[in-house]
Amino acid sequence: MSLGTALNRFFKHDAAGGIVLMGAAALAFIVANSSLSGGYHSALNTYLAVTLDGEGLQKPLILWINDGLMAIFFFLIGLELKREMLEGKLKNPRDVLLPGAAAVGGMIAPALIFLLFNWGNAETIHGWAIPAATDIAFAVGVLALLGTRAPAALKIFLLTLAILDDLGAIIIIALFYTAELKIDYLWLSLIPLAGLWWCHYKKIHRIAPIILLGVVLWFLVLKSGVHATLAGVITAFFVPLKDRFGKSPLHALEHALSPYVFFLIVPIFAFSNAGVVLSGLGLEDLVSALPLGIALGLYIGKMIGVFGVTWLLVKLGTATLPSGVTWQHIFGVACLAGIGFTMSLFIGGLSFGEGALMNEVRVGVLGGSLLSAVTGYLVLYTAGSKVAKPVAAE
């Protein structure tokens, strides 16, 4: 087998995105604790400016990545959400009930555990949403490593849960992580919004006008104080599912964009944000309220929230487990939901910016995500050898 064929097979595998993401995070950790550390942090804090007659944007590279590149990541999530709502897993409300309720439980329980450790600490309490998110690429990647040992219905359950979890994270960012509002820019943002609506109404088949209007919207939303990544989601919802020729701009764009997001943008984000600096980090820092609240929120909170709500709904007769899925499978997925990584680091950056607290955030996110991944894999590996029987509501 040639190298090109092997690489092509690797990148088509469901686990590829998670593996590349882990590699980028590991590389960040190595570089941040090597002789290259100074250059690494200096490069991330280098200011880049795009201005016209003194007006425009001037930000360090790390914020161009987190506010700019991640807007493309959220754009892809928006495309996926719209597709699933119109013709996929989120179309039938009955199919959404169980994973949807599990996603809500899996956001509330981690936040409560975080608050339990950080209540009364004004410096850290606003990071309560950090352990509430699930990383789709990582979680699905770990599940894919199990191959046929995991039922197909379990992957659908996890995907639906993770998609709804991302939707919840988007809502949280919009409501709780918005800076001081500049209303004039919000009013101006109505202009590209009107253009996007017109493109959708006319079912145009060209993507370029939508992307251009989305970039203008991103700039105005960023200047308004609302987090700019939300512009990516909003733009995605105006991409037509079907154009006037019967083709699908949404499908085409999602298919074209996915490799660049999962194999370039998200790894760049991971490399830029996962560099935990061990120098000066003592045992007391590892078990302080912030990293401990995040790690246990991801590891224990997701288990309790996802599994507990699923168990309650089935026992109440409100829902049934998917065909071929056992309670051990559900517990394994509840563990995998604790892999927060991308979204957790992103919300951590919104909460604390850079500095000592962000380093503690990285410790908590990486620790909790790693424990969740290993536990979830082991639980599902042993469950996969059993004959699964459908579990009906009692």
3-state class (DSSP) for residue 277 = coil
pLDDT at 22: 83
pLDDT at 372: 94
Distances (CA, A) of 193 to 39, 189, 234, 235, 239: 40, 6, 9, 8, 12
Strands (E), the chain: 47-52, 55-60
Yes or no: say if 304 and 109 are a contact pair by the CB < 8 Å rule.
yes
C-alpha 36/C-alpha 25 separation (Å) is: 15
pLDDT at position 304 over 90: yes
pLDDT at 281: 67
pLDDT at position 153 over 90: no
- Tokens representing residue 207 in the block: 């993507």
Per-residue pLDDT reduced to its tens digit, 235-276: 999 999 998 888 999 999 999 998 898 889 988 988 988 887
pLDDT at position 393 over 50: no
- According to DSSP, the residues that pair with 56 across neighbouring strands are 51
Mean pLDDT of 324-340: 92
User: CA 368, 371, 377 angle in degrees (round to 5)?
Assistant: 135
pLDDT at position 57 over 70: yes
pLDDT at position 389 over 90: no
pLDDT at position 306 over 90: yes
- Tokens representing residue 212 in the block: 């251009």
C-alpha 292/C-alpha 285 separation (Å) is: 9
Mean pLDDT of 185-194: 92
| % the chain with pLDDT above 70 | 93
C-alpha 345/C-alpha 295 separation (Å) is: 12
**What are the structural domains, with CATH classification, of the chain?**
13-383 (1.20.1530.10)
| % the chain with pLDDT above 90 | 33
pLDDT at position 170 over 60: yes
pLDDT at position 314 over 50: yes
Confidence of residue 53 (pLDDT cuts 50, 70, 90): low
Q: What is the pTM assigned to this prediction?
A: 0.78
C-alpha 235/C-alpha 318 separation (Å) is: 36
pLDDT at position 109 over 80: yes
- Tokens representing residue 72 in the block: 């493309």
Cα radius of gyration (the chain) = 21
Per-residue pLDDT reduced to its tens digit, 333-379: 999 999 988 888 888 888 887 677 888 888 999 899 999 999 999 99
pLDDT at 384: 63
